[in-house]
Structure 1
Amino acid sequence: MRRIFNKIRRVWKFYTAVNWMKTIYFNYKKFPFRIARKLPVMFYGSVKFSDISGEIILDVPEVKRGMIGFGQKFELPTRSKRIAELSVMGKLVFKGHAHIGIDCFVHVGEGAYCEFGYMSCLGSNVKLICKEEVILSDWVGIGYESQLTDSNFHPMMNTETGELYPMTSPVHLAKYNAFSNRISIMPGTKTPENCVIASNSVVNKDYRDWGSNILIGGVPAKLIKQNYNRDWEGEKEMLKKFKIIW
C-alpha cells in the first residue's frame, strides 16, 4: 500500500509541476502533429517565450515524450524566481535527452546554430547566448549560475592599428565535460573530451592541446591537474534515472 501511495504521489507531483499550457503550445507550434502529440519538449514552471520563430530540430532515432526538459528541478535549490526565458530565432538542435534547470535564459540569435548533445545539461540560473555557433556535446554539464556566450556583443578594436576584432567566435564543448558553478564560458572556447572546469573560472580559448582527463581553472583558466576526471561511468545510470522523466 505504501508503495502504491508513493507512486501516486510522484505522478501527482510531476503532473502538477508541468506547465501544460506552454508545453502544448510550444510542441504543436514547432513540430508536425505526429511529433507534437508525443510532447517531446516539456516546460516546468513559469517561462517566457520571447521569440520562438526559429527552427527546433530533434535529431534523434526515436522521439519520446519529455525528452527535453526546460525548468526541471534536479538540483538542491528548488524554488524558482520565475525568470526563465527562451528565445530561438536561429536553429536549435537536440541530439537526444537534454535537461535545462530552473530560471535559465537560452537565446539563439537569427542565423545562429546551437546544439545540445545526448544528456547535456544546464544547471539552474544558467545563461546561454548563441549568436553564431554553440555546441554542447554528449554528457556536457554546466553548473548553476554559469554563463555561456559566443559573442562580445559590442565591436572591440585595437587602438593602435584601428583593427576591429571579431564580435563572435564559436564555442565547442567536447564530450564528458563537467563545468562547476559560476563559470564564464567565453567566445572561442574549445575544450577536450573528459575535462573538468573548476568553479568561478573564466575559459576563453582553445584548450584541446592540453589533452584529456584534466582539471583546469582560474581567471583566466590554467592547467591545474592531470589524470583527473568525473566518474561518468559510475554516475550514468543514476543520472538517467534521476533526469529522464519517461
Structure 2
Amino acid sequence: MIEILKNNYRKARSSYQKLKFYYSVNWTKTLCFNFKKFPLSIAKKLPVFFYGKVKFASITGKIEIKGEIKKGMIGFGQRYEMNTLHKGIAEINILGTLVFKGHVQFGKDYFIYIGENGYCEFGHMASLASNAKLICMERIVLGNYARFGSESQIMDTNFHQMIDTQTGEKFKMTDPILIGNYNYAASRVTVMQNTKTPDYCTIASNSLCNTDYTSFGSNVLIGGIPAKFIKDSVSRDWEGEKTALDDYLIV
C-alpha cells in the first residue's frame, strides 16, 4: 500500500512539474525557432522549447537532432533548479553546427555561441545550468549525462592570439573539448581548450580544466586551478538517481 502511494505521489509530482514547464514556455520564440530551423515534419513536433526571455542574436547555423524526435526534448531556459527567477539575459548565437543526441537541458540566463566553423554536440541528458556560458569556435562534445552546474563556462578558445616573445611563434588559439559520459561538474567550473575527461568523472566546484585527464581512468574526482587528480573510486550515484532525474527533467 505504501509503495502504491509513493508511486502515485511520484507520478502526480512529475505531472505537476510538466504542467509548470508548459506554462512557462516562450511560445513565440519556440514556434519561430522550430519552424525556421527544421523541416515541417520535425518542426510540428516542437522538439525545442524556449522558456523565459531570450535573444536570438543569430540562428543561421545548422541545428540537427539525432534520434527519436519528441516534443520539448530540448529545453533552453528550463526551470529545473532551486532558483526560480530569470534575469532575462539569455542569448544564443548559432553560426556553425549544433547537434543534439537526445534530451538536453539549459538552465536560465545561458549564453551559447557557436562560431561559423564550430561544431558542438550534446549527448542525451547533457545539461548546462543557470548562467552557464558555452563558446565553440572549433569543436566541443559533451557525452551522455554530462551535466554542468550553475555559472560554469566551456570555451574552446582563448580569444586572442598569443605569441612566444622570444621566437615569435604563434600559439594555436583553439583546441577541441571532449567531455565523457556521466560527468558531473559542480558550479563555477571553467573548461578551456584541449580538455578531455574520462567517463564517470566528477569536477569539483571552482575548478579550471585545461588538459587531458583520461589517463586517470573512470570514476575519478578532479579539481583545483588548474584541475588535478584528487581521488579515484568516486562517482555521482547515477544508477540511484537516473530514474528520478529522467522523470523530473524530461518534459
Q: TM-score range by the shorter chain?
A: over 0.9
1:30 maps to which residue? 37
Q: Which amino acid aligns with 2:61?
A: G
- The correspondence for 1:173, drawn from 159, 173, 179, is 179
- Once residues 232 and 208 of structure 1 are traced to their aligned partners in structure 2, the CA distance between those partners, rounded to angstroms, is 20
2:123 maps to which residue? 117
3-state SS of 1:172 partner: strand
1:133 paired to 2:133? no
Spell out, residue by residue over 1:8-39, the C-alpha distance to the aligned partner (whole angstroms, 9 max, x if none). 96565333300000000000000011100000
Residue correspondence of structure 1 range 34-113 to structure 2 within 5 A: 34-60=41-67, 62-113=68-119
- The correspondence for 1:198, drawn from 197, 204, 213, is 204
3-state SS of 1:165 partner: coil
1:212 paired to 2:236? no
- Once residues 120 and 9 of structure 1 are traced to their aligned partners in structure 2, the CA distance between those partners, rounded to angstroms, is 23
Identity of aligned residues (%): 52
Q: Which amino acid aligns with 1:216?
A: I
- Once residues 23 and 243 of structure 2 are traced to their aligned partners in structure 1, the CA distance between those partners, rounded to angstroms, is 26
Q: Residues 6, 240 of structure 1: CA spacing in aligned structure 2 closer, same or farther, 3 A cutoff?
A: closer
3-state SS of 1:157 partner: coil
3-state SS of 1:230 partner: coil
- Once residues 53 and 97 of structure 2 are traced to their aligned partners in structure 1, the CA distance between those partners, rounded to angstroms, is 23
Q: Where do 5+ consecutive residues of structure 2 fail to align?
A: 1-8
Q: Residues 10, 162 of structure 1: CA spacing in aligned structure 2 closer, same or farther, 3 A cutoff?
A: closer
Q: Where do 5+ consecutive residues of structure 1 fail to align?
A: none
Are the aligned partners of 2:187 and 2:205 in contact in 1 as well (CA < 8 Å)? yes
Q: Which amino acid aligns with 2:43?
A: A
1:15 maps to which residue? 22
Q: Residues 201, 227 of structure 1: CA spacing in aligned structure 2 closer, same or farther, 3 A cutoff?
A: same
Q: Which amino acid aligns with 1:152?
A: N
3-state SS of 2:77 partner: strand
3-state SS of 1:69 partner: strand
- Once residues 16 and 222 of structure 2 are traced to their aligned partners in structure 1, the CA distance between those partners, rounded to angstroms, is 42
Spell out, residue by residue over 1:51-79, the C-alpha distance to the aligned partner (whole angstroms, 9 max, x if none). 0000000011x211000000001111111
1:185 maps to which residue? 191
- Once residues 145 and 243 of structure 2 are traced to their aligned partners in structure 1, the CA distance between those partners, rounded to angstroms, is 12
Q: Which amino acid aligns with 2:115?
A: G
TM-score, normalising length: structure 2: 0.93
3-state SS of 2:202 partner: strand
